A = this chain, B = another copy of it.
C-alpha cells in the first residue's frame, strides 16, 4: 500500500461542508483576528397548518479548519493559510534562520532522493531571538494578552452568550442547563481573554502554538475550559503512506480532533510530518524518541542525548507544538515493573527503560531536562510529560511504578515552569472505574494543577476490537473529574494500525466522552446543543436532528436504512415503533390535552368520536 512517489492531492481530501452548516468568523475586539466556528441552520417549527416559528441557528466549536469552508480553495502543496504569522512577527522576538539548525534536518533537505516526497514550499524556520522566551506562558506571566489568547476566549464561548441574549422569550429555554458538579474546577459563565491569560500564567492551561506552525487555529487545554480530545495518526513500518496520513489528519479534524499526534514509526517520518503540519488546522504533537530510535536503526541502547537533541530541534523547527518526553522513566523505577502482568506498554517508556538498563545509567531525558527546556522555550513547544510507566492492564492499575513516575513528573513540572515552558501531564491507561478518581486527585496534588492528558483509561481488558468503548467510559469519567484532554483510542487498539473508519470511530467516541464530561461539569452553554437536538427530535425535524448531531452522515444513513423516502423526513415516527406506537407522537398529543385542561379536552375528545389524527 506504499505510494511513496505520490504527493498528497487535494482531490483525495475530505472537504465537503457539513449539511446545513456554514463556517463563520467572529472578529476580535483587542486584536485583528477572525475566530472560526460553525453555524448550523435549523428548519422552522410548524405550529399548525399555516403557522411556523423560526428556530435560532446553533453555533458549535469547529476543528475542521478551512477544509469545510466552500469558499476556501484547498491546495495541499501550498499548505493552509498562515494565520498566526503576523501575530508572531509583531511580537518582534523571533528571527528567521538562514538554514535549519538540525544536522539531520539539513541532511534530509539536501538529499535529492527525497525530492519526490518533500513538501516543497516549506519556509525557513523561525526561532526566538537571543535571550528571548517565546512561550505563551512567558507572555501570560508578563501580563500580555496575545491574539492567541483572545482567539481562544471567543472560540471557547461559541457565541452562546450572545445567542442567548438575542433569543426570543420562547427560545430562552434552550439555554437552560443543569448546574453540574465540577469537582473543584472554576469555569466562569463567560470566558474572557484575561481569564485565558490568567489560567495560562498559573500553569493550569496550555496553548500549544509553536511559532513554526502559524497555520494552527489557537486552542487551549485546561480543566476550566472545554474538554479536548486528541487523535493519533502516523504510519508504522508495516503500514500506510504519506497521502493516507495527511488524509487521516484532515479526517480526524473534520470529526472533532482538537490536536493530532503524529506517531509515525515507519519510513520518511520527517517528510510525512512536514506535510501534516503544513496542512493541519490543529496543533501537532509527537514523541521525538521514536524518530531518534529510527536514526539508530531501532537499537535503543544506541540512543544518545546528542541524537535526541538534534531530533528535538529538527521537529521544533518544523512546527511540532508539543513533545511527549518520557523523562519520568527513572532507572530506579524500572524494576518496579518486573512483576507486572503487562510490563511497560508505552513505546517510549519501554525504549527508555531498555536504554537505562543497558547503560545502567539514569534516563538521559531526566538528566538533560533543563537543556530540553532551553530548546522548547525558543520555539514554544510544550511538554507532554510522558506516562512511560502507565498500566497496560487492569491488574497493573495504580501500582507503585505508575505513581512513582507521576511524582517525578510533578518535580519536572516545576523545573519547566522555571523556564516558562508550558507543561501538560500524561496519564493512564487501564484503570477500573473505582480507581480513576485517585489518579485525578494525585495528579492535581503532585503536578501543581498542570493539565492532565489521559489515554482513556480503559475500564476493562476483555474487549479488544471495542477499546474505543472500554476506554470511552473511563475517559468520560476522568474528564468529569478534571482531565483537560482525552487521547482517543480506536477499535484497532492492541490489534493493528487504525484506518480511516477507525479514526472516525475513535474521534466520535471521544467527542462523546468530552461532551458528557462538559455537561457533568456544568460547563456554561454545553447543554445548548443537547437541548436544540432534543427539541428537533421531539418535533420530528429529522434533518435538524441529524445536522445537530456529532455525525450527521451516520445518523441520516441509519434512519434511511429502513425509511429512505423523503416523506419519512417529516414523518412523526420512524421504523423503531411505527406510526401507532411512536411515543414522541403520542406525547405531542398528550401535551396538548394537558395544556388545554383535562376536563375540557375529554369532552371534546368524546365528541369527536375518539379520533385523534393531527
**A-side interface residues toward B, CB under 8 Å?**
173, 176-178, 180-181, 236-239, 265-266, 290, 293, 298-302, 334-335, 337-338, 341-347, 349-351, 353-354, 357-360, 392-395, 397, 432-435, 459-466, 468-470, 472-473, 476-477, 480, 491-497, 499, 508-509, 511-513, 515-517, 519-522, 527, 529-531, 533-535, 537-538, 545-546, 548-551, 554-555, 557-559, 561-563, 574-584, 586-591, 593-595, 598-599, 601-602, 605, 610, 612
19 sampled A-B residue pairs with Cβ under 8 A: A176-B395, A237-B578, A298-B580, A301-B610, A342-B587, A347-B581, A354-B589, A395-B527, A433-B480, A460-B512, A461-B537, A462-B530, A462-B548, A464-B537, A465-B557, A470-B512, A473-B473, A496-B558, A496-B563
State the CA gap A173–B342 with chains docked (Å): 13
- Taking a contact as CB atoms under 8 Å apart, the answer to whether A357 and B598 are in contact is yes
Q: Are A530 and B393 in contact (CB under 8 A)?
A: yes
Given contacts A395-B531, A462-B550, contact A495 B555 (CB under 8 A): yes
Provide the bound-state CA to CA distance between A381 and B459, in Å.
Answer: 35
Assess whether A515 is in contact with B590, with CB atoms less than 8 Å apart. Answer: no
Q: How far does the Cβ of A237 sit from chain B's closest Cβ, in whole Å?
A: 4
Inside 8 A of A298's CB, which chain B residues have their CB?
Answer: 580-581
A289 smallest CB distance to B (angstroms): 10
Whether B432 lies near A459 (C-beta < 8 A) is no
A565 to chain B, nearest CB (A): 11
A605 CB contact (under 8 Å) in B358, B434, B579: B358
The one of B237, B357, B465, B495 in contact with A590, judged by C-beta atoms closer than 8 angstroms, is B357
Choose among B178, B335, B343, B480 the residue that contacts A584 (Cβ–Cβ < 8 A).
B343
Q: How many angstroms between the C-alpha atoms of A86 and B571 in the bound complex?
A: 51
Q: A554 contacts which chain B residues (CB < 8 A)?
A: 465-466
With contacts A350-B587, A584-B343, A610-B302 taken as known, whether A578 is within 8 angstroms of B464 at the C-beta atoms is no
Give the interface SS of chain A, mostly helix, strand, loop or mixed.
Answer: helix
* Known contacts A180-B434, A238-B563, A466-B551; A533/B461 CB under 8 A: yes
- Select one of B178, B508, B574, B588 contacting A394, CB under 8 A: B178
- The 9 closest A-B CB pairs, nearest first, are A343-B587, A237-B578, A393-B534, A298-B580, A433-B520, A350-B586, A465-B554, A459-B516, A461-B530
